[in-house]
Amino acid sequence: MRTAHTVVQVRAAEAALMATVPDGTLMDRAATGLAHACVDFLGGTYGADVVIVAGSGANGGDALYAGARLARRGARVAAILLSPDKAHAGGLAALRSAGGHVVPANEREDAVARADLVLDGIVGIGGKPGLRPDAVAVMDLVRRHDVPVVAVDVPSGIDVDTGETPEPHVRADVTVTFGTHKVGLLVDPGASAAGVVHLVDIGLGPYLPDPVVESLQASDVAALLPVPDRTSHKYTRGVLGVVAGSEQYTGAAVLAVSGALGGPLGMVRYVGPDEPARLVRARWPEVVAGEGRVQAWVVGSGLGEAPERAEDVARALAADVPVLVDADGLRHVLGRCEGEVLLTPHEGELARMLEVERTDVAARRLHYARAAADRWNATVLLKGATTVVAPPTGPVRVNSVSTPWVATAGSGDVLSGICGALLAGGLSPLDAGSVGCFLHETAGILASRGGPIVAEDIAAALPDAYRFVRGVGEGEDAERG
């Protein structure tokens, strides 16, 4: 599992660790890991041109020390110092000793134009969002000449604790972070600015408290998946009730049921209007139509705006079983929820629920997911490239497995069915939401193979996604054995 911590947590852990090791140890570990990552990115260092953009703090020091290591391995390394009088003295001396040099102000563009790689050492986790004008000017040169960027610890200018990007910031191809992931590296829009994230272990682990953000990996998902045994039957595996679709949106019912049947449950009951029910049973003859015993409800996909459908949502929420509310059903979640409830809005739906602008939600995804979870006393799954799953209390989960091809009509209906199946299988709303997202995106990747898909393709690929995840988990267990 990937875990992320706040700046305060990281600083406290660093202080505790530094009290046990010689001065400079952490910076040496960070610079060594950073240099190795740059070598991997470049495919070798001999003859490569590397430009360091260094600020005045320890972040710049990490970059300069890494630059010295690259210079000793045959790279031509130049440093653009944004605050020459405040540059990290030890790092600068090491760079010069290894053959690197400082770029004069009037030669910055030439140096950037020749570069094979730029190291962003402008500001680290102690900085505020945004960049100073001189840093913006240099990074504009980098963008103009299309030079790859490796960010040191975090892309300079993002809000490290939230992932928000209200001010100008660096967009990196790779971010090499130290000790633990930072929240802004896992949550969009900061995650998009970070590119591929590489974690360097500098020894912080024993000193870190519980994380504030988690990101499941395949082995974590495998460990959470409900798996039947030889004594299982359809009721012990779970029965899901699906209330979805309308005369106008018949496909939503079929897709939600498709997602549910791709899950680990034993039976699906469909409750809805005649035409969607006919289509569901034609597509899936094993589905039972009508009310009956269930272990969880999914309600909302394609209900439409008819006021009487509010009763469907109210009945599901009043049942003494876990409930997932999606899409049109979210209009009818009015007060604080009781019991185990999972709400699955996209940005527009959450904006409507909270009476804010959609652009605000997109810019502050973590903030608004947490706010909604607190307001409705429910776990909130905010869909997106990095889906945020926020429970009323405790760490937030972020799903970082994604493909843009799942952004297709009906994809959310399939997701609601998957998550509902996991609820019926006994998972908590937090686990059902985060595991469901992982499986949904994995199925999308397997189905698309880099090309267009439709929602039904995602549902059809779910068994392969389950097999892939379980295979990863069994492989790791075998390695441990």
- What number of other Cβ atoms are within 10 A of residue 54's Cβ? 30
Question: Is 384 annotated as a binding-site member?
Answer: yes
**What number of helices (H) and strands (E) belong to the chain?**
20, 19
What 3-state class would DSSP assign to 140?
Answer: helix
Residues 6+ apart with CB under 8 A from 116: 42, 48, 49, 50, 147, 148
User: What's CA 280's distance to the chain center, in Å?
Assistant: 33
Question: Is 182 annotated as a binding-site member?
Answer: no
Could you identify the residue written with the tokens 């959470």? 224
Question: Is 55 annotated as a binding-site member?
Answer: no
Total number of residues shown for the chain? 481
Element (H, E) at 176: strand 174-178
User: What's CA 46's distance to the chain center, in Å?
Assistant: 35
Question: Is 413 annotated as a binding-site member?
Answer: yes
User: Do the beta carbons of residue 103 and residue 87 sit within 8 Å?
Assistant: no
Enter the tokens of residue 326. 């999606």
Radius of gyration in angstroms for the set of CA atoms belonging to the chain, rounded to a whole number: 25
Question: Is 35 annotated as a binding-site member?
Answer: no
Question: Is 302 annotated as a binding-site member?
Answer: yes
Question: Is 274 annotated as a binding-site member?
Answer: no
Enter the tokens of residue 461. 């690929």
C-alpha 474/C-alpha 398 separation (Å) is: 23
Could you identify the residue written with the tokens 């608004």? 368
Question: Is 481 annotated as a binding-site member?
Answer: no
Question: Is 377 annotated as a binding-site member?
Answer: no
User: Do the beta carbons of residue 255 and residue 408 sit within 8 Å?
Assistant: no
Question: Is 130 annotated as a binding-site member?
Answer: yes
Question: Is 59 annotated as a binding-site member?
Answer: yes
**Strand order through the sheet with 267-270:** 181-182, 2-5, 213-215, 396-399, 387-390, 379-382, 341-344, 323-326, 296-299, 239-243, 267-270, 288-289
Question: Is 128 annotated as a binding-site member?
Answer: yes
Question: Is 443 annotated as a binding-site member?
Answer: no
Question: Is 238 annotated as a binding-site member?
Answer: no
User: Do the beta carbons of residue 254 and residue 276 sit within 8 Å?
Assistant: yes
Question: Is 252 annotated as a binding-site member?
Answer: yes
Q: Report the binding-site residues for (6S)-NADPHX.
A: 58-62, 124-130, 153, 252, 302, 346, 413
Q: Report the binding-site residues.
A: 58-62, 120, 124-130, 153, 156, 252, 302, 346, 383-387, 412-413
Q: Report the binding-site residues for AMP.
A: 383-387, 412
Q: Report the binding-site residues for K(+).
A: 59, 120, 156
